[in-house]
Structure 1
Amino acid sequence: MRTVDPVKHQAQRQRIVNAAAALFAAKGFERTTTADICKAVGMSAGNLFHYFPNKRAIFLAVFDGDREEKAERLARAQAAEDPWEALLETVDLLAEAAVEPLVPHLVMEAMVQAYRDPELEALLSRDNATEHAAVSTLLTRAAAAGRIDPGLDPDDTATWVLALIASLYTSAAADPSFRPAEQLPTLHLILHRYLQARPA
């Protein structure tokens, strides 16, 4: 019986995911074929299906790769001593992938496909719920510590904070001249003025 080396197997899976991600970003899920993916990684369809049962499984894997690492970083942020600094670090964490050329287009494609794929929609919803809970927790702690306006509802405010972060991705996908990295200081400024302002 042939023994599978788990390290090599995982590395080959990642090669497939990386190649497919570039194709999905450029062509979209529907127009990307398994033949395209096979050509990009230099393997036969039979070999490809040894790693993934179908194209949809590869697409799901594109969005499932860093979940554990992100969850750990969000958990550390929620336990940080200074909730305001941890909140800003969390914003940077959630925004950091927007500067990668492929990611905004992949995010837009995922939003389209989520309407047709309940499993993908559930995956994205879980991610969003985790991020929302982390931001809401930090907002609650920051308000209790006197670092932000205590009159803000943490759940509603978390929704707006995440919407501002999401705009980096959608703007980058829609406008080739938009540079998310250059807009991060502006995002921080908006958050400072929104969260730390007191009503007159």
Structure 2
Amino acid sequence: MRKVDPAKHQARRRHILGVAAGLFAAKGYERTTTAEICKAAGMSAGNLFHYFPNKRAIFLAVFEDDEEGKAERLAQAQAAADPWEALLELVDFLAAPAAEPLAPPLVMEAMVQAYRDAELEALLSRGNAHEHAAIAALLSKASDAGRIDPGLDPDDTATWVLALIGLLYTSAATSPAFKPTEQLPTLRLILQRYLRAEQPDS
């Protein structure tokens, strides 16, 4: 029996997800066919199904892999010595993909499909909950350290922070003139003025 090279298997899997993500972003999940994914990936259907059982599994994996990579970054942020700087860096990290061509339409497509797919909805909800928990923890630590307004509720404020980040994605997906990269400094400024307490060094 031929042994599977884990590195090659993983690389091939990432290749499939990459081309599939491009198709899902451009055409949407429903209008993308398995045959199109096979053609873009340069493989037969039999080979494709060696990695994923169906199109839905590929779509889910696009977002599952993203969550796996994000978990380590969230943990690093919560362990940082300076919660205020860690918060700003985490916002940058979560907002940065909005500037990539595929991310905003993929996010929009995931939101549409989540209404029809309970497993996808649960996956996205878990990811959002993890982001919310990390931001709320940093806000709480920053408040205790006197770095932000102590009158702000960490959980409520984390919801608003994530809502502002989410606007970068939805705006980029729906308005061709909207440039997320150009808006990131404004997002930072809004958060700084919203979160920081009245103090001389703010």
TM over 0.5: yes
TM range (shorter): over 0.9
Which one is further off, 9-18 or 155-164? 9-18
**CA-CA distance at 1:2 after TM superposition:** 2.1
The alignment partner of 1:147 has SS state of coil
Residues in 1 aligned to 2:70 and 2:44: alpha-carbon distance in whole angstroms: 33
The answer as to 2:25 corresponding to 1:25 is yes
TM-score, scaled to structure 2: 0.95
**CA-CA distance at 1:197 after TM superposition:** 4.5
Identity across aligned pairs (percent)?
A: 77
Residues in 2 aligned to 1:10 and 1:189: alpha-carbon distance in whole angstroms: 40
Write the letter of the residue equivalent to 2:42.
G
Residues in 1 aligned to 2:18 and 2:76: alpha-carbon distance in whole angstroms: 28
In structure 1, the partner of 2:189 is 189
In structure 1, the partner of 2:74 is 74
Question: CA deviation digits over 1:39-91, x for unaligned, max 9?
Answer: 11111111111111000000011111132332111111112111110110110
In structure 2, the partner of 1:109 is 109
The answer as to 2:56 corresponding to 1:56 is yes
In the TM superposition, 1:32-181 aligns within 5 A as 32-181=32-181
Are 2:83 and 2:138, in contact at CA under 8 Å, matched by a contact in 1?
Answer: yes
Residues in 1 aligned to 2:34 and 2:197: alpha-carbon distance in whole angstroms: 52
**CA-CA distance at 1:21 after TM superposition:** 0.3
Residues in 2 aligned to 1:162 and 1:121: alpha-carbon distance in whole angstroms: 17
Residues in 2 aligned to 1:169 and 1:106: alpha-carbon distance in whole angstroms: 9
Counting matched residue pairs gives 198
TM-score, scaled to structure 1: 0.96
Question: CA deviation digits over 1:123-157, x for unaligned, max 9?
Answer: 10110000000000011111111111100111000
Which runs of structure 1 show a deviation greater than 2 angstroms over 4 or more consecutive aligned residues?
Answer: 66-69
The alignment partner of 2:195 has SS state of helix
Structure 1 unaligned residues grouped into runs of 5+: none
Residues in 1 aligned to 2:106 and 2:66: alpha-carbon distance in whole angstroms: 15
